[in-house]
Amino acid sequence: MRIDILTLFPDFCDYYTRLSIIGRAVADRKIDVFSHNIRDYTLNRQKQVDDAPYGGRQGMVMTAQPVYDCYKAVCGMAVTAPHLIFMSPQGKTLTQGRVKELAVMDNIAILCGHYEGVDQRVLDEIVDEEISVGDYVVTGGELPALILADAIARLQEGVLSEKAGYEEESHYRGLLEHPQYTRPELWRERRVPEVLLSGHHANIEKWKHEQSVLRTKERRPDLYEAYIADIHKSPLDL
């Protein structure tokens, strides 16, 4: 899979995507991640990529031309035109379900906004979908873009040592993950649950599932209700 990030801060994105598990995956060509400096595509001699908004609002807006030309350059580098995602607090909230859908695509591009936003005309022209990482606002689209890239990358074959590395995690199957424990068995008078020390595989798996359901019910009742509704569907509903 190929991921292209369109940004004003490519060094920031490159630094992250060269670290840890994702960095090893990039080095081993399990996934290709490239950062592109939108500023390199401006026709402005001062390399300016923003201008004052029409309508008198305070702040600046990213102009259409460099964003569009950067996108077209990326299209020329890839085998197929990428599915372009704009990271925006106005987009649909990112879910693990959407991550799984995006993870099977061949090529994704992620546009990072800045300032007060991006000229709507170029968004209308090239963007396939807008995604939000939550109901809050940050100073730029790079952190949200890296969250998305990381979530997609770790689902690629060979990035994690085993599928269980992500299949048992929160949200992958609609439930939150069960509690985790490691050595020592006793810490500050808190003991590891006996079932995890029993060596009885079936009982351990049963405990993990029960804990996942209980934790989801307590912490995310919305997910719990969806989970309960799903397991009670009749064959005719499927």
DSSP 136-153: S--S-SHHHHHHHHHHHH
Summarised one tens digit per residue, pLDDT across range 26-53 is 999 999 999 999 999 999 889 999 999 9
**Is 176 found in the same domain as 137?**
no
Q: At which of 153, 177, 212 does a domain end?
A: 153
Summarised one tens digit per residue, pLDDT across range 64-78 is 999 999 999 999 998
**Is 184 found in the same domain as 76?**
no
CA separation for the pair 188, 202 (Å, rounded)? 29
Q: Quote the pLDDT of residue 122.
A: 98
Q: At which of 153, 185, 217 does a domain end?
A: 153
What residues pair up with 194 in beta bridges, in sequence order? none
How would you list the strands of the sheet with 129-132, edge to edge? 32-37, 2-7, 107-112, 83-93, 129-132
**Is 108 found in the same domain as 82?**
yes
Query: Residue 77: inside a domain, yes or no?
Result: yes
Q: At which of 130, 153, 176 does a domain end?
A: 153
The total domain count for the chain is 2
Please report which confidence band the pLDDT of residue 206 belongs to, taking 50, 70 and 90 as the band edges. Answer: very high
**Dihedral angle over CA of 200, 206, 207, 213, nearest 10:** 170
**Is 229 found in the same domain as 172?**
yes
Query: Residue 204: inside a domain, yes or no?
Result: yes
**Is 124 found in the same domain as 69?**
yes
**Is 107 found in the same domain as 49?**
yes
**Tokens read off for 234:** 């009749």
Give me the domain span that covers residue 225.
168-237
pTM: 0.87
CA separation for the pair 57, 53 (Å, rounded)? 6
**Is 103 found in the same domain as 183?**
no
Between 208 and 164, where is the model more confident?
A: 208
Q: Quote the pLDDT of residue 233.
A: 77
**Is 174 found in the same domain as 140?**
no
**Is 43 found in the same domain as 91?**
yes
What residues pair up with 186 in beta bridges, in sequence order? 191
Query: Residue 163: inside a domain, yes or no?
Result: no
Question: Ramachandran region of residue 131, left (φ > 0), alpha (ψ -120 to 50) or beta?
Answer: beta
In the predicted model, is pLDDT for residue 197 greater than 60?
yes
**Is 229 found in the same domain as 123?**
no
**Is 178 found in the same domain as 96?**
no
**Is 136 found in the same domain as 19?**
yes
Among residues 23, 13, 46, 10, the alpha carbon closest in space to that of 154 is found at 23
Report yes or no: 85 and 127 within 8 Å, Cβ to Cβ: yes
**Tokens read off for 233:** 């569907």
Query: Residue 30: inside a domain, yes or no?
Result: yes
Domain containing residue 40: CATH number: 3.40.1280.10
Query: Residue 126: inside a domain, yes or no?
Result: yes
CA torsion through residues 178, 184, 190, 192, sign: positive
Domain containing residue 203: CATH number: 1.10.1270.20
**Tokens read off for 125:** 């022209």
